[in-house]
Amino acid sequence: VSKYVEVKFNLLPGLEKQLDREIPLAVSKTAFFVELGAESRGRRRTGAMRAGWYRVTSKESNYDQAVDAGLGMNPDAEVVGPVPTPSDNLTAYVSNAFGHTFYNEFGTSAMPADPMARPAAEEQREPFKKRIFVALTTLGK
């Protein structure tokens, strides 16, 4: 019986690189679809709120475009600052650049709630799991 194991192939570094690429991609794709889902919901009066959805990952943000597009539709809309950039590539945020969006999501004394962000995120729960599953099951392929 040999005391030694000779390594002929070491696929682990390649698999690690593949995971580092595919999992953040699944996170980023999911954020994109959450943003799209939120955009497709909600009331439309001036369109600023609908145009104001944006996503932030550790590598990209379309906050500025969302602000420009929203202000183009309603120059008086109250802009709120961007959410912080995530410190890792496994996190993404979807938010809205205009302050009145929060009150639409949860309602006010004069207006019923019209949730957009939460149903859009929930809609992506299963697709996100599938994206992660595909990334894991295609490792090394």
Partner 1 sequence: MADEASLLAKWVFDTLSGDGTIAGVVVSRIYDGAAPQNPTYPYIVFTIIPLTDDQTLGARMWANFLLDVKVVSQGRSFATHSATVSRTDVLLHDKKEVSITGGKIKYSYRDMPIHFPEKASTGVDYTHQGNSFRVGVAAT
Q: H or E element: which one contains 5?
A: none
* Least gap, CB of 38 to partner 1 (angstroms): 13
Quote the CA–CA distance of 128 and 24 in Å, as a whole number.
Answer: 11
What's the CA gap between 129 and 19, in Å, rounded? 15
Of the two residues 69 and 128, which places its CB atom closer to partner 1 in the complex? 128
Q: Name which of 112 and 140 has its Cβ closer to partner 1.
A: 112
Question: Contacting partner 1 (CB under 8 A), which of 102, 129, 134, 139?
Answer: 102
Residue of 13, 75, 112, 140 interacting with partner 1 (CB under 8 A)? 112
Draw the binding track, 119-138, toward partner 1 (x: CB under 8 A; -: no contact): x--xx-xx------------
C-alpha span between 4 and 43 (Å, rounded) = 68
Binding flag, residue 103, partner 1 (CB under 8 A): yes
> Strands 93-96, 53-56: parallel, antiparallel or unpaired by DSSP?
antiparallel
Question: Which segment (10-18, 54-62, 73-81, 115-123) binds partner 1 by CB under 8 A?
Answer: 115-123
Q: Does 80 bind partner 1 (CB under 8 A)?
A: no
Q: Are 35 and 53 in contact (CB under 8 A)?
A: yes
Report the interface residues with partner 1, using CB under 8 A. 102-103, 106-110, 112-113, 115, 118-119, 122-123, 125-126
